[in-house]
């Protein structure tokens, strides 16, 4: 209070876009000039038409970014839509991300004091988030941004979530969210839900990433990462090359990477770990890391060129390793739920992989006394399991922009599409009251609304957003308000930008920012990479505030949400089935499997029972085949006899 906040314009015309400095799964980031304020900013531009997933994640990210208030968290100045694009204006972090810095200048990772300093800053951000009931869910080097003076900010709140009271927590954490290499085992398992300790796991993986220049298992396709994380011992700093690291560093990493989340320290406790005594002030980063770095735009261009080279060098785009590396260079480690990709990934995991698997999981295997060898068997059943997913991953019918129009305010003339290189169209402020939806859009939404009256019966979901600048509402407070049942969740499935699954906002942005809504509590949601989310189907679902403060009633989106929810449930079932299948199969052949250290679906041999059933099926198919053949023969004979009979009848009648 009392401090006059700078007012950033919500009109694309007021910004001058310069070079591209970053690219994510769903967005491109540009250095830009805010003309009226004469200030350099970063603008993240999302193409809502292309980004057919995760609209809810986008909305949440924008909302969370605008509300957080901590020096180690990237706050947004403002957001608005312009044509099909969403613009998010934020501080320009001229050093770029830790991942970009490593890829450009520190391919084998940083020195320990640098790592300690980076991690210390990130941990401060996590303590703040966790204290205020949020889980970040996507902690990784690609989301650690550095400014010219060495200051560090954790970015990317697309998957952040609010934590709920104990009653709902289990269900609310049954959500498949994050980026596979950094994802905690309990998040993958979806058995008992998860909490902020999932961030501690990701933090430990990030520590390894900063130490080695890449995250463990980063070369592998998502499905394999999932199984390796679940089946192998946790990764650590145990290689020969890790000898240079201190015992306290190894110990800190080991504390974070415990599979049982209960045994991991909280962020607050971790802060007291002796390792962080090695942390220095951020000007140390400025001297040791940033000094001499070329401008971010140039580095980004070089990385893109390197990526293009990789593509050229290897025309076999299906080569999962290359794909994986390219994704990694871009800071993308998406769960790509394009069915074809999954099939390819499953098919491509072969003997060669185990060479690197041995390398990555060497320590774990040594610890377990496991030999690495593998089976060549490829299970048709597994392929069938994957094929069965096909039906589940059907496209959703909703246009993302249309859906988002329920979240963001829309100006009268906001219909055109602005390319980042062109200059602005009319933007859409997040503030209510000064925009209108175009007439066609209103008609469509009215239609949806009337449809909704007859179709909506299920529970509804709330917006997330317990982070308030001045007055943060903690999960405890929410519970004590007796509003537990108002924090029921729904989860959705979405996918990376290549896929059909998309997110639809559940509510109106202005509503979500209103005091009532905040007091109603926060919501765990998901993000735009591969994540599978689960609906909380409580019949006591809360009453959504139907009063729109923007041009579009949020309730009009409910039919779409309903349909998405249905899809999500089916998809979740499928994923669970696959995971169970993998676990069962690995359980039933645990000896072989433990010995091989192999965690690949396609290499799991069929059980004896499966073999027996398969041979029975084959026998049945054969006997059906011969019966059909016999039937055909008999039919032919019949026809011939009939013909002979009629011929005889004819000759008889002639004679007569
Ligand atoms: N404020 C900023 N200043 C400078 N560079 C930035 C800024 N924000 C993002 N970047 C760069 O752009 C990249 C992509 O941004 P961001 O991670 O927000 O996009 P995204 O689509 O959410 O990515 P992903 O989903 O892969 O994490 C970052 O990794 C970083 O290198």
Give domain limits for the chain: 12-91, 96-309, 357-508, 541-591+600-655
CA–CA dist 617, 608 (Å, integer): 14
The domain 96-309: what is its CATH number?
Answer: 1.10.510.10
Structure tokens at 26: 């769903």
CA 575 to centroid of ligand 1, rounded, Å: 29
pLDDT surpassing 50 at residue 147 = yes
Structure tokens at 589: 């052949």
Which of the following is catalytic: 47, 54, 138, 414?
138
pLDDT surpassing 70 at residue 500 = no
Does the beta carbon of 57 lie inside 6 Å of ligand 1? no
Does the beta carbon of 303 lie inside 6 Å of ligand 1? no
| Domains 12-91 and 96-309 in one fold | no
CA 331 to centroid of ligand 1, rounded, Å: 8
pLDDT of residue 272: 97
Residue minimizing CA distance to atom 8 of ligand 1: 29
Active site residue 138: yes
Binding residues: 44
Does the beta carbon of 146 lie inside 6 Å of ligand 1? no
Could you say which DSSP state residue 195 is in?
-
Over the stretch 82-100, which tens digit does the pLDDT of each residue have? 888 889 899 999 999 999 9
Does the beta carbon of 83 lie inside 6 Å of ligand 1? no
Residue minimizing CA distance to atom 1 of ligand 1: 92
CA 336 to centroid of ligand 1, rounded, Å: 19
Tell me which of 205 and 532 has the higher pLDDT. Answer: 205
Residue 575: which pLDDT band, with cuts at 50, 70 and 90? Answer: confident
Residue 627: which pLDDT band, with cuts at 50, 70 and 90? Answer: confident
Structure tokens at 200: 């501690």
Phi, psi of 428 (to 5 degrees): -115, 120
Mean pLDDT of 114-120: 97
Mean pLDDT of 48-66: 68
Does the beta carbon of 495 lie inside 6 Å of ligand 1? no
460 and 541 Cβ atoms separated by less than 8 Å: yes
pLDDT surpassing 60 at residue 321 = no
pLDDT surpassing 80 at residue 232 = yes
461 and 489 Cβ atoms separated by less than 8 Å: yes
pLDDT surpassing 70 at residue 442 = no
Structure tokens at 108: 């084998």
Which CATH code of 3.20.20.10, 3.40.50.620, 3.30.200.20, 1.10.260.40 fits the domain covering 12-91? 3.30.200.20
pLDDT surpassing 60 at residue 158 = no
Binding residues for ATP: 44
SS (H, E, C) 234-303: CCCCCCHHHHHCCHHHHHHHHHHCCCCHHHCCCHHHHHCCHHHHHCCCHHHHHHHHHCCCCCHHHHHHHH
Tell me which of 379 and 101 has the higher pLDDT. Answer: 101
Least confident of 257-266, 544-553, 639-648: 544-553
Residue 224: which pLDDT band, with cuts at 50, 70 and 90? Answer: confident
Over the stretch 515-536, which tens digit does the pLDDT of each residue have? 223 233 333 333 333 333 333 3
Least confident of 56-60, 164-168, 418-422, 610-614: 164-168
Minimum-distance ligand 1 atom for the alpha carbon of 74? 1
Answer positive or negative: Cα dihedral of 55, 173, 180, 340: negative
Mean pLDDT of 288-306: 91
Mutation test residue for ligand 1: of 145, 302, 303, 494, the one with most atoms within 8 Å of CB? 145
pLDDT surpassing 50 at residue 172 = no
pLDDT surpassing 90 at residue 30 = yes
Residue whose tokens read 């991300």: 97
CA–CA dist 432, 429 (Å, integer): 8
Mutation test residue for ligand 1: of 15, 20, 21, 22, the one with most atoms within 8 Å of CB? 22
Does the beta carbon of 90 lie inside 6 Å of ligand 1? yes
pLDDT of residue 25: 72
CA 505 to centroid of ligand 1, rounded, Å: 22
Tell me which of 244 and 631 has the higher pLDDT. Answer: 244
Structure tokens at 593: 């499997």
């Amino acid at each position: 209070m009392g401090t006059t906040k700078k007012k950033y314009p919500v009109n694309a015309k007021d910004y001058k876009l310069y070079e591209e400095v970053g690219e994510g799964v769903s967005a491109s980031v540009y250095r830009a000039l805010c003309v009226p304020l004469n200030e350099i900013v970063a603008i993240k531009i999302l193409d809502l038409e292309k980004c057919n997933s995760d609209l809810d994640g986008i909305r949440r990210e924008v909302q969370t970014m605008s509300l957080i208030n901590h020096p180690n968290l990237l706050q947004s100045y403002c957001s608005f839509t312009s044509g099909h694009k969403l613009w998010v204006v934020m501080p320009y972090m001229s050093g770029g991300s830790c991942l970009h810095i490593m890829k450009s200048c520190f391919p084998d990772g940083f020195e320990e004091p640098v790592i300690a300093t980076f991690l210390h800053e990130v941990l401060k951000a996590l303590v703040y988030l966790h204290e205020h009931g949020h889980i970040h869910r996507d902690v990784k080097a690609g989301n650690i941004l550095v400014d010219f003076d060495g200051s560090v900010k954790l970015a990317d709140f697309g998957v952040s979530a609010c934590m709920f009271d104990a009653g709902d927590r289990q269900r609310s954490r049954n959500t498949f969210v994050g980026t596979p290499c950094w994802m905690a085992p309990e998040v993958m398992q979806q058995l008992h839900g998860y909490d902020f300790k999932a961030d501690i796991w990701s933090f430990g993986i990030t520590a390894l990433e900063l130490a080695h220049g890449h995250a463990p298992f980063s070369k592998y396709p998502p499905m394999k990462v999932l199984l390796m994380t679940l089946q192998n011992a946790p990764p650590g700093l145990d290689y020969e090359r890790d000898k240079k690291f201190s015992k306290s560093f190894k110990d800190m990493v080991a504390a974070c990477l415990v599979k049982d989340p209960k045994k991991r320290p909280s962020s607050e406790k971790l802060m007291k770990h002796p390792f962080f005594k090695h942390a220095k002030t951020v000007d140390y980063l400025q001297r040791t890391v940033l000094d001499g770095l070329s401008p971010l735009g140039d580095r980004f261009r070089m990385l893109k060129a390197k990526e293009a080279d990789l593509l050229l060098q290897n025309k076999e785009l299906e080569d999962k390793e290359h794909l994986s590396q390219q994704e990694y260079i871009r800071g993308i480690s998406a769960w790509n739920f394009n069915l074809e990709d999954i099939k390819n990934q499953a098919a491509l995991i072969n003997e060669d992989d185990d060479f690197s698997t041995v390398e990555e999981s060497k320590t774990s295997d040594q610890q377990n006394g496991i030999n690495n060898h593998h089976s060549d068997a490829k299970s048709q059943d597994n392929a069938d399991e994957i094929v069965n997913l096909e039906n589940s991953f059907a496209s959703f019918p909703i246009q993302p922009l249309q859906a988002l129009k329920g979240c963001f305010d829309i100006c009268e003339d906001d219909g055109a599409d602005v390319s980042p290189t062109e200059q602005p169209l009319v933007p859409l402020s997040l503030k209510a009251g000064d925009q209108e939806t175009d007439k066609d859009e209103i008609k469509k939404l009215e239609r949806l609304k009337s449809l909704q009256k007859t179709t909506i019966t299920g529970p509804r979901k709330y917006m997330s957003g317990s982070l308030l600048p001045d007055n943060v509402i903690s999960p405890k407070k929410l519970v004590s308000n007796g509003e537990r049942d108002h924090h029921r969740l729904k989860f959705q499935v979405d996918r990376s930008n290549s896929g059909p699954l998309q997110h639809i906002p559940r509510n109106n942005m202005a509503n979500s920012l209103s005091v009532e809504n905040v007091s109603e509590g926060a919501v765990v949601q998901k993000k735009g990479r591969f994540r599978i989310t689960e609906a909380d189907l409580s019949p006591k679902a809360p009453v959504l505030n139907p009063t729109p403060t923007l041009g579009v009633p949020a309730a009009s989106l409910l039919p779409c949400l309903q349909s998405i929810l249905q899809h999500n449930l089916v998809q979740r079932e499928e994923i669970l089935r696959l995971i169970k299948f993998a676990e069962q199969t690995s359980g039933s052949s645990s000896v072989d499997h433990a010995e091989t250290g192999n965690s690949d679906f396609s290499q799991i041999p069929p059980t004896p029972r499966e073999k027996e059933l398969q041979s029975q099926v084959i026998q049945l198919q054969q006997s059906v085949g011969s019966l059909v053949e016999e039937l055909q023969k008999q039919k032919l004979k019949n026809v011939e006899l009939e013909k002979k009979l009629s011929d005889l009848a004819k000759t008889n009648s002639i004679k007569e």
